[in-house]
């Protein structure tokens, strides 16, 4: 698997995690994922709280994608770079 394919699969796996989305990079040609044999870093925006269960689900979604790749044994670092305002919205009473 190439680095580009791995990034695409990681981003695809994260689509299943409601409450997180990849962060839009400051440089448009740079993805929200950095692949290194030592550390795989994914930058995210949270749209819901609390963060710990969301990050656990994200790790569960990404880890299998890395299996059998050069990044299989890398540390996985999930970095929440921003909180969407929706994360603070409270449901209204009906």
55 inside domain = yes
Return the higher-pLDDT residue of 31 and 2: 2
Q: What is the pLDDT of residues 24-37, one digit of tens each?
A: 766 656 679 999 99
Query: What is the CATH number for 12?
Result: 3.30.70
3-state helix vs strand vs coil in the chain, percent to 5:
35, 25, 40
Rounded CA separation 54/79 (Å): 12
39 inside domain = yes
92 inside domain = no
Q: What is the pLDDT of residues 53-79, one digit of tens each?
A: 999 999 999 999 999 999 999 999 999
Residue 38: closest CA among 2, 14, 72: 72
Please tell me the total count of domains within the chain.
1
Rounded CA separation 4/6 (Å): 5
Q: Kindly report the pTM of this predicted structure.
A: 0.83
76 inside domain = yes
**What's the mean pLDDT in 9-35?**
85
11 inside domain = yes
Supply the range of the domain harboring residue 13: 3-25+32-87
**Radius of gyration of the CA atoms of the chain, in A:** 14
């Amino acid at each position: 698997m190439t680095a580009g394919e791995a990034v695409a699969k990681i981003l695809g796996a994260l689509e299943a995690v409601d409450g997180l989305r990849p962060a839009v990079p400051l440089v448009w040609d740079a993805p929200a994922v950095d692949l290194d044999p030592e550390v795989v870093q994914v930058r995210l925006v949270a749209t819901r709280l609390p963060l710990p269960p969301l990050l656990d689900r994200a790790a569960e979604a990404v880890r299998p994608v890395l299996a059998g790749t050069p990044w299989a044994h890398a540390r996985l670092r999930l970095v929440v770079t921003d909180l969407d305002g929706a994360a603070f919205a409270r449901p209204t009473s009906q």
